[in-house]
Amino acid sequence: MLEIKDLQIHYGAIKAIRNINLSVPEGSIVTLIGSNGAGKTSTLRAISGIIKVAGGSITYNNENITNLHPEKIVKMGICQSPEGRLIFSNLTVEENLLMGAYTRKDKQGIKDDLEFVFSFFPRLKERIKQLGGTLSGGEQQMLAISRALMSKPKVLLLDEPSLGIAPLLVKTIFEKIVALNHSTGITILLVEQNANLALSIANYGYVLETGEIILEGKADELAKNEEVRKAYLGE
């Protein structure tokens, strides 16, 4: 469904991503793990068209989307929930969600999807008229994911959903990610520093280190890998 081949991303003279290959099959949860600064966020930004690719290709359903405008990529069915959530602090929960549907014209469909995200995250419905900036970190993360879902994506890119959130809410959010995948069949590419958590819900995983993929495999096998356990699972 989503294929990355020989991807290169440069920031001036710095080669942030060096010839990585990554595959995200339809209906799967694939995780990209690695330490801070490994290039995980840059990879997602390249898929979303937010930063330019220096080399290689990104294809979606056999169509080359490399360096396409972000709005076109969203319309094609790929949407990102960014690191740090980046919700609109001065807009209400409802207004934030409607911003996620800005490429859509189907009013009834938008209304139905609002109800869908509220069924997934009832806490957001309770706070529908509350300003985004007044929500807790966990609630803002729920809002960021829900805002991405309002574009009706086929592929959801999640960037560090556990970052800066209380452990109990992290557990809830990851349970919801799995439930979302199972109930809708949505394909998920998850970028996460919390390797243990990411590998526990993913089908397949890639380990990114200083711009290169050093390991890949089934998530449960990676979780048992001695190298991964020492470097990323704190063992």
Task: Please report the pLDDT score of residue 83 as a whole number.
Answer: 87
Residue 130 lies in a domain: no
pTM value is 0.93
* Average predicted confidence (pLDDT) for the chain: 94
Residue 132 lies in a domain: no
**Residues paired with residue 20 on neighbouring β-strands, in sequence order:** 7
Amino acid at 113: D
Task: Please report the pLDDT score of residue 231 as a whole number.
Answer: 79
Task: Please report the pLDDT score of residue 36 as a whole number.
Answer: 87
Residue 179 lies in a domain: yes
Residue 49 has pLDDT above 70, yes or no: yes
What is the tally of structural domains in the chain? 1
DSSP designation for 25: -
- CATH code of the domain in which 180 resides: 3.40.50.300
Residue 111 lies in a domain: no
Mean of the pLDDT values across residues 129-144? 94
For residues 207 and 124, give the distance between their C-alpha atoms in angstroms, rounded to a whole number.
Answer: 34
Task: Please report the pLDDT score of residue 234 as a whole number.
Answer: 65
The two three-digit tokens of residue 219, written as one number? 């998530």
Share of the chain above pLDDT 70, in %: 99
Mind listing the pLDDT tens digit for each residue in 197-234? 999 999 999 999 999 999 999 999 999 999 888 877 76
First to last CA, the chain: 34
Mean of the pLDDT values across residues 85-95? 93
Task: Please report the pLDDT score of residue 34 as a whole number.
Answer: 92
Task: Please report the pLDDT score of residue 28 as a whole number.
Answer: 98
83: left (phi over 0), alpha (psi -120 to 50) or beta: beta
Radius of gyration of the chain (CA): 17
The two three-digit tokens of residue 66, written as one number? 């490399």
For residues 164 and 73, give the distance between their C-alpha atoms in angstroms, rounded to a whole number.
Answer: 28
Mean of the pLDDT values across residues 143-151? 95
Residue 91 lies in a domain: no
User: The domain containing residue 184 runs over which residues?
Assistant: 2-84+152-232
Q: How many CB atoms within 10 Å of residue 167?
A: 10
Task: Please report the pLDDT score of residue 63 as a whole number.
Answer: 97
Question: CA angle at residue 84 from 8 to 208, to 5 degrees?
Answer: 35
Confidence of residue 135 (pLDDT cuts 50, 70, 90): very high
Residue 221 lies in a domain: yes
Question: CA angle at residue 123 from 118 to 126, to 5 degrees?
Answer: 85
Residue 202 lies in a domain: yes
Residue 167 lies in a domain: yes
Mean of the pLDDT values across residues 131-144? 94
